Copies of this chain bind each other. A is one copy, B any other.
């Protein structure tokens, strides 16, 4: 489906000499890529371009390997038009989403469909060199096994704040050795493709938006993804785009002050932080103390078996009816809810998505949280508000990473630079 180099080159020369053509070509490709138009007549109707402009641009896009011609479409009385499709296999996206203790790798096409993926236990604290070498090995395995196209973009998610433009983690508390490490500089020459680095919860928020896209207008979607795992963090979308803030620190809500309980000591050194009251590590700390004294219930059994507890034990025990686990899940949900209520009044999102290991207690967590948010937020801000559980934390991160790359690669500004060459390979983001 990809054009031969010589044919592509002749199109290229014209494109470079005439930016008007580049602009209308971008419009045509985008209408097909986003499935707003699937045939030449439809392209004409929606773009207002004349018939000859449409067919010239479509030819150019086919030469560049970005559009492909499919079967005959439905007839509208006359001759049935050929269906046009975006060539999602023109390139691939290689991605890695690192959590604190695990990592997911995937290779997707240019629409974000997963071609191959794998998931591994991995300690982010082993540092960037070992982690990125591991990534290269595992991605190579995925690519080999799947005959994936060459990469058009690389995406890395990490569990800490990131300076998005430079691709460097900034003072990430649980990522020793990563502070200021230039991930882009490591990956771009290796893959010959632009690399994007972002916080993992930001990617989960983007992934949720992709899932919600079927029912919501993504271009206008204001969303907050709240992750209640070992720590607590948020990913924020503003009009469907990640809001990263001035230092890439936006969403770091784990250390905001909590109404009421202000005696809990936090691992950050302050007292009264949200995490120190409602985070998985704080619940584990309190529950381990409790089961040492009284080893009853499911938590007692788990502790006797392993000698320790982890955050995901708590929702499991709560579902098995352990009273102390239930109590802690409700406490966590109500405390998180107070913070979320303030954020809802401030930010007025369409949707709050709740994920993370503690939130996996399901309805128990969600119902307690909803109750507080709906009673404490401004009525207007909750009038249409939906509070929904996350679908699957690993899946969301991978979906979101692909969406991030697609949004950047096919932005009009950036397409202007790479389109005349036919692919963004060897172009780095500005």
A215 beta carbon closer than 8 Å to chain B:
no
Q: Which residues of B contact A251 (CB under 8 A)?
A: 346, 348
- Indicate how many identical chains form the complex: 2
A161 to B338, CA, bound (A): 22
Q: Which residue of B lies closest to A161 (CB)?
A: B380
Q: Are B380 and A348 in contact (CB under 8 A)?
A: no
Interface residues in A371-397 (C-beta closer than 8 Å to B): 376, 378-381, 383-385
Q: Which residues of B contact A379 (CB under 8 A)?
A: 171
Q: Are B246 and A50 in contact (CB under 8 A)?
A: no
Interface residues in A203-255 (C-beta closer than 8 Å to B): 222, 234, 236, 238-239, 243-253, 255
A252 to B377, CA, bound (A): 10
Q: Determine which of B24, B249, B256, B348 lies in contact with A252 in the assembled complex, contact meaning CB atoms within 8 Å.
A: B348
A234 to B236, CA, bound (A): 18
Q: Are A256 and B341 in contact (CB under 8 A)?
A: yes
Q: Determine which of B20, B48, B50, B259 lies in contact with A262 in the assembled complex, contact meaning CB atoms within 8 Å.
A: B259
Q: Which residue of B lies closest to A342 (CB)?
A: B256
Q: Which residues of B contact A47 (CB under 8 A)?
A: 19
Q: Are A381 and B19 in contact (CB under 8 A)?
A: no
Q: Determine which of B249, B270, B343 lies in contact with A348 in the assembled complex, contact meaning CB atoms within 8 Å.
A: B249
Q: Are B257 and A245 in contact (CB under 8 A)?
A: no
> Provided the pairs A170-B380, A246-B222 are in contact, do residues A19 and B49 lie with their beta carbons within 8 angstroms?
yes
Minimum distance in angstroms from A272 CB to a CB of chain B: 8
A398 beta carbon closer than 8 Å to chain B:
no
Q: Which residues of B contact A272 (CB under 8 A)?
A: 259
A339 beta carbon closer than 8 Å to chain B:
yes
Q: Determine which of B18, B20, B255 lies in contact with A378 in the assembled complex, contact meaning CB atoms within 8 Å.
A: B255
A258 beta carbon closer than 8 Å to chain B:
yes
Q: Which residues of B contact A238 (CB under 8 A)?
A: 238-239, 243
Q: Which residues of B contact A260 (CB under 8 A)?
A: 262
Q: Which residues of B contact A342 (CB under 8 A)?
A: 253, 256-257, 339, 342
Q: Are A248 and B49 in contact (CB under 8 A)?
A: no
Q: Are B258 and A243 in contact (CB under 8 A)?
A: no
Q: Are B245 and A381 in contact (CB under 8 A)?
A: yes
Contact flags (1/0) for A6-28 with B, using CB distance below 8 Å? 00000000000111110110000
A257 to B344, CA, bound (A): 12
Q: Which residue of B lies closest to A50 (CB)?
A: B17
Residues of A within 8 A of B (CB): 17-21, 23-24, 47-50, 53, 161, 170-171, 222, 234, 236, 238-239, 243-253, 255-260, 262, 270, 272, 338-339, 341-343, 345-350, 376, 378-381, 383-385
29 A-B pairs whose Cβ atoms sit less than 8 Å apart in the complex? A18-B50, A19-B53, A20-B20, A20-B49, A23-B24, A161-B380, A171-B379, A222-B250, A234-B346, A236-B347, A238-B238, A238-B243, A245-B348, A246-B349, A246-B384, A247-B380, A247-B384, A250-B347, A252-B378, A255-B378, A256-B342, A256-B345, A256-B376, A257-B259, A258-B259, A259-B259, A259-B262, A260-B262, A342-B342
